[in-house]
Structure 1
Amino acid sequence: MPEAIWISFAFVLGLLMKAVGLPPLVGYLAAGFVLSGIAAATNIAIEATDVLAHIAHLGVLLLLFTVGLKLKLRSIVSPEVIGGSLLHFGITCAVFTPGLHMLMELDWQTAFLLAIALSFSSTVLAAKVLETKRELRAFHGRVAIGILIMQDLIALVVMSIAAGQTPSQWALIVFGLPLLRPLLFRLLDASGHDELLVLLGLLLALVLGGLGFEAVGLSSELGALIFGAMLANHPRSQELAKSLWSVKEMFLVGFFLQIGIGGLPDQGALIFAAVAILVMSLKGALFFFVLLAFRLRARSSFLSALSLTNYSEFGLIVASVALPQWLVPLAITVAASFVVSAPLNRLSHTIYERVGSRLTRFESQRRHPDEQPISLGSTKIMIMGMGRTGTAAYDQLIKDEPLIIGLDSDPAKARTHEREGRNVVFADGEDTSFWQGLYMPAVESVILAMGDIEGKLIAARNLRKKGFTGFIVAHTLYADEAKQIREAGADEAYLTMSETGVALASQVLHRTRSIKPVMS
């Protein structure tokens, strides 16, 4: 049974890649190539069946659907995201296209499509690296993710054009899809949190988006993305994306296996991959200088650029539609870029500490609005992290102390608090340069209410490093983390669940003592 062999090889090699700190999808590609090698050595036919091809297609549709779920206009409508992504895309294509045409003697169309495929960066790798380091909502993380979403949209346009499908007259129905949004929102609300939620995602991505758009002569990939985007503003859109994560990853295994099983790389493919890896540093340098042009600081530009310095699985998806004969060379290129990029990104902050002094000279004198120095003036209490805990603390303290400010690394959340009347500003507490530009002469107490332990440790250390001698308090779920926070400089670190239990008990005691016993 070929499916059992595929699963076994994919799991073993994916596990090996994970053990050495590389994305498992490198192992899935390797599994396909190993199977091709076994077939060539033993003269046993191991081919990608229709089942594997169908699974691979479903994986692509689910990937695009989850991209659509993240497609909020506020995440991409900014000059550095739109301008940076388009400028980088244009320059890359303008340089790579003639280079590939002359050096590899390709026709102009093939050279142009290859340049497009090489211009994309990996959404999967960048998102996982940033999530692991808890930097998805940091300024440089949001810029990188915004650029990746723009690249995904460009890839979708290229795929739709390359597919050459002629829409039918029924395709005009697509313009009426926004009218379905209230119905889709109700369906999402009614689906609960279990298997119905997953089934709703599959229905929208594969049936209505995939088959529905194909039926009217449009790209199924476009349909999956549009149906995802229609739900992007729903409060539970990210819950839906998380519920589909495992299903999507499982189906995408089929996509990478299919590429590897398609054939072993020849000498030309290996040379192409080697040259592309050498050129990859120029791709990262271009991102760095493009972001500097939009007034980002050197640190933010460097960290964003480094997370984008790789080649993309979306390039493979584009090639599967437009350049099927180039799938194997591009697959080797993408896998090799992950091998180089993954360890560099894990050491990104350490690398910047060594080269940062040489990079800051390229900074603009004008700063990006989100990276301006912050002066707290006469503020006495500072709350870092304005989630549920930080907001509750703010609302309680503001009753007695008006000189209070909240800081949060999510600018959209900061704006929401401002509209609700709270004094909250954007600030990334994990950014060392934020602490260098922070002026807090009158602050007496700081509450660390960020969601992750690393942010609290960094904040506590930097507060003491700045010479702050006031009171620092934090909360956490675990006793070992509480110890770390105190060692980093906090005066107190309360266990959230324990304090909740104490508060509940106090309410019960208060209630029972206030009620006089009734004699029967």
Structure 2
Amino acid sequence: MPEAIWITFAFALGLIVKAVGLPPLVGYLAAGFALSAMASMTGVAVEATAVLQHIAHLGVLLLLFTVGLKLKLRAIVRPEVIGGSLLHFAITCLVFAPGLFLLLDLDWKTALMLAIALSFSSTVLAAKVLESKRELRAFHGRVAIGILIMQDLIALVVMSIAAGKSPSEWALLVFGLPLLRPLLFRLLDASGHDELLVLLGLLLALVVGGLGFEAVGLSSELGALIFGAMLANHPRSQELAKSLWSVKEIFLVGFFLQIGIGGLPDQQALMFAVVAGLVLPLKGLLFYFLLLAFRLRARSSFLTSLSLTNYSEFGLIVASIALPEWLIPLAITVSISFVISAPVNRFAHSIFEKIGHHIVRFESQKRHPDEQPLSLGDTRILVMGMGRTGTATYDWLLPQQAKIMGLDSDPAKAENHRLQGRNVVFADAEDTTFWEGLHIPSLEAVVLAMNDIEGKLIAARMLRKLDFKGYIVAHTMYSDEAEKIRDAGADEAYLTMSETGVALASHLMDQPGLQEARQTQSTTSDTAGST
């Protein structure tokens, strides 16, 4: 039973790499190559069966669907996204194609197709890394995902040309999909909170988006992404994404296993992969300077570029259609880029803190509209993170303190709050350059209501570094995180669920009947004490 072997190797190596601080996906890649090595030594055939290939494909579709759920399409149609992706693609092809032609003695068509395959960055890896750090909605995360979507669209065009296929006339129906949004919203509302919600997500991602788009000659990946994006503005879109999380993660294990099981490389393939790995930093540098040209700050450009400094699984798909003889070398190349990119991205913020003062001098004096400097003015209470907890905190405090401000790292969310009458502005608490120019003359208290622990730790440390003497309070799900937040400088960090229980109990005791019973009990106790 090959599935039992896959699961055993994936779990064992995933656990090992996690223990040394690497993302488990690196272990899943290693498991695939370990299976290939075992097959070559023992003579026992280990190959990517149709079942594994299907599971891998489902994992990619579900990942793209959940990415779509977190996307705002208006954030994609931006100069830095469209311009950055197209310029990077063109420059990479113009540089790589002649180099491959001369160094490897290839014909021009093969050299160009290889250059195209190497120009793409991994949607799977970047989305997974950004999601794990809860940065998909941060400014740099949205720019990175937008560029990846543009690259995926370019890859779909290239694959269609290489395969000599064109969409059927029925593909024009795609332009009518926005008319289905009210129906999709009603289905999501009617699905409840249990298994029907999961089934709805699977139906839209795999059946309607996946098979539906394939039936009209379009990419199933594009279909899954589009149907996710159509639901992005629904209030329950994030609940749907969370309900699909475990299913998506399991299926993605199959994707990474499939890459490794594809076969062990020969010496020439290894040399190609090593050289491609050595030039990988050039890919990130090109992204960095292109994004700076579009007026992004050094930090945003650096974090976005680091997310995109890898090679893409779409390159393997392009190769499987146009360059099948190059599939294994490209698979090793993609795997090496994953091994390099995943751990580096984990420490992206720490790396920028160390080298930021060297590279910040390249940024433009003109700032991107979403990265304008911020002044708190006469604000006395600051709420950082305007999700459900931050919004509830803001609304409760507003009648008692009018000079209150909210910050959020999602410009669209900040705009929605402003439309509802709240004083909320865009700012990223993890941006060290934001803290460097911050002036807080009247600030008395700060509420840390961001989702991620890293953002709270950075905010608490930076506030104390600015000699802020006021009160800092935060919430968290776990007691060990609460201790870290206090050590970083917060006065107090409360456990979310414990405080929820206290709030429920206080609401309960505010009921008239229970108040009377409590007063009667108190009177009886006083009488007994007097007696």
TM-score (norm 2): 0.87
Query: 1:332-355 deviations in whole A, cap 9, x for unaligned?
Result: 111111222233223333333332
Distance 1:377 1:15, change over 3 A: closer
State the partner residue of 1:335. 335
**Deviation sequence 1:79-100 (CA, Å, 0-9, x none):** 2222222221221122112222
Q: Is the 8 A contact 1:127 1:136 kept in 2?
A: yes
- SS of 1:439's equivalent? coil
Deviation for aligned residue 1:478: 4.3
For residue 351 of structure 2, what is the aligned residue in structure 1?
A: 351
Q: Which amino acid aligns with 1:227?
A: F
Partners of 1:121 and 1:137 in 2: how far apart? 19
Residue range with higher mean Cα deviation, 426-435 or 218-227: 218-227
Residue 468 (structure 1) aligned with residue 507 (structure 2): no
The 8 Å contact of residues 56 and 255 in structure 1, kept in 2 or not, is answered as: yes
2:140 matched to which residue of 1?
140
Q: In the alignment, which residue of structure 2 is the partner of 1:82? A: 82
**Residue 247 of structure 1 aligns with which residue?**
247
- Whether the 8 Å CA contact 2:70–2:136 is kept in 1: the answer is no
Spell out, residue by residue over 1:171-190, the C-alpha distance to the aligned partner (whole angstroms, 9 max, x if none): 44434333332222222222
Give 2:526's aligned residue: none
Q: Structure 1 residues 460, 88: closer, same or farther in 2, change over 3 A?
A: same
Q: Report the CA distance shift for 1:395/1:31 in structure 2 as closer, same or farther (over 3 A).
A: closer
Residues 1:342 and 1:170: Cα distance change in structure 2 (over 3 Å): closer
Deviation of 1:133 (Å): 4.0
Superposed counterparts of 1:273-312, under 5 Å = 273-312=273-312
Distance across 1 between alignment mates of 2:392 and 2:230: 32
* SS class of match (1:447): strand
Contact 2:60-2:124 within 8 A present in 1 as well:
no
Decide which moves more: 229-238 or 109-118. 229-238
Q: Which structure 2 residues correspond to residues 177-188 of structure 1 after superposition, within 5 A?
A: 177-188=177-188
Alignment match, 2:226: 226
- Map 1:361-510 to 2 at 5 A: 361-510=361-510
**The 10-residue stretch of structure 1 (330-339 or 458-467) with the greater mean CA deviation from structure 2:** 458-467
Q: Over residues 15-70 of structure 1, what are the superposed CA-to-partner deviations in whole Å (9 max), with x where a residue is unaligned?
A: 43433344444444444444444444444444444334443443444344344434
Question: Residue type of the partner of 2:357?
Answer: S
Distance between the aligned counterparts of 2:350 and 2:405, measured in 1? 31
Does the 8 Å contact 1:165/1:219 carry over to 2?
no
Which consecutive unaligned segments of at least 5 residues does structure 2 have?
Answer: 521-531
Residue 176 of structure 2 aligns with which residue? 176
For residues 80-137 of structure 1, give each alpha carbon's deviation from its aligned partner in whole angstroms, at most 9, with x where no partner exists.
Answer: 2222222212211221122222222223332222222211222333334334444444
- Higher mean Cα deviation, 305-314 or 448-457? 448-457
Aligned pair in 2 of structure 1 residues 154, 20: CA closer, same or farther (>3 Å)? farther
2:171 and 2:333 map into 1 onto residues whose CA distance is 37
1:118 partner SS: helix
Distance 1:213 1:411, change over 3 A: closer
Query: Cα gap change, 1:252/1:473 in structure 2, threshold over 3 Å: closer, same or farther?
Result: closer
> Quick one: which amino acid aligns to residue 95 of structure 2?
V
The one-letter amino acid of 2:118's match is: L
User: Structure 1: which 5+ residue stretches go unaligned?
Assistant: none
TM-score (norm 1): 0.89
Q: Is the 8 A contact 1:259 1:327 kept in 2?
A: no
Q: Take 1:231 and 1:131, find their aligned partners in 2: how far apart are those partners?
A: 18
Percent of residue pairs bearing the same amino acid type:
78
Q: 1:108 to 1:68 in 2, by over 3 A?
A: farther
State how far apart, in whole Å, the 2-side matches of 1:52 and 1:477 are.
Answer: 36
**Closer, same or farther: CA 327–71 of 1 in aligned 2, 3 Å:** farther
> What's the C-alpha RMSD, in Å, of the aligned pairs?
2.9
Change in Cα spacing, 1:234 to 1:316, as seen in structure 2 (3 Å) is farther
Partner of 2:524: none
Q: Deviations over 1:198-224 (max 9, x none)?
A: 322332333333333333444434433
Contact persistence 1:29–1:257 (CA under 8 A): yes
Instruction: Report the alpha carbon displacement of residue 414 of structure 1 after superposing the two structures with TM.
Output: 0.9
Structure 1: distance between partners of 2:414 and 2:499: 27
Distance 1:181 1:67 in 2: 18
**Structure-2 separation of matches of 1:67 and 1:142:** 10
Give the equivalent residue in structure 2 for 1:265. Answer: 265
Aligned partner of residue 280 in structure 2, secondary structure? helix
Q: Is 2:513 the partner of 1:512?
A: yes
- Range 4-13 or range 435-444, more displaced: 4-13
1:16 aligned residue: 16
- Which residues of 2 match residues 92-111 of structure 1 at below 5 A? 92-111=92-111
Give the aligned partner of residue 157 of structure 2: 157
Contact 2:311 2:337 (C-alpha < 8 Å) held by counterparts = yes
- Change beyond 3 A, Cα 1:338–1:168: closer
Q: Once the two structures are superposed, what CA deviation does each residue of 1:409-434 show, in whole Å capped at 9, x if it has no partner? A: 22111111111111111111222211
Alignment-mate amino acid for residue 414 of structure 1: A
Does the 8 Å contact 1:379/1:403 carry over to 2? yes
| Secondary structure of 1:374's aligned partner | coil
CA spacing shift, 1:232–1:159, aligned 2, 3 Å:
farther
Describe the SS at the equivalent of 1:415: helix
Number of residues paired by the alignment? 518
Counterparts of residues 180-199 of structure 1 (less than 5 Å): 180-199=180-199
1:247 counterpart letter in structure 2:
V
Give the Cα separation in 2 of the matches to 1:106 and 1:208.
41
Structure 2 residue identity aligned to 1:315: G
Q: 2:244 is paired with a residue of what secondary structure? A: helix
Farther-moved stretch of structure 1 (415-424 vs 138-147)? 138-147
Query: What is the CA–CA distance in structure 2 between the aligned matches of 1:407 and 1:63, rounded to whole Å?
Result: 29
Distance in 2 between residues matched to 1:274 and 1:205, nearest whole Å: 36
CA distance in 2 between counterparts of 1:385 and 1:71 reads 18
Partner letter of residue 298 of structure 1?
A
- In structure 2, distance between residues paired with 1:255 and 1:37: 18
Contact 1:67/1:149, CA 8 A, preserved across alignment: no
Contact 1:29-1:331 at 8 Å conserved across structures: no
CA contact (8 A) 2:10 2:253 kept: yes
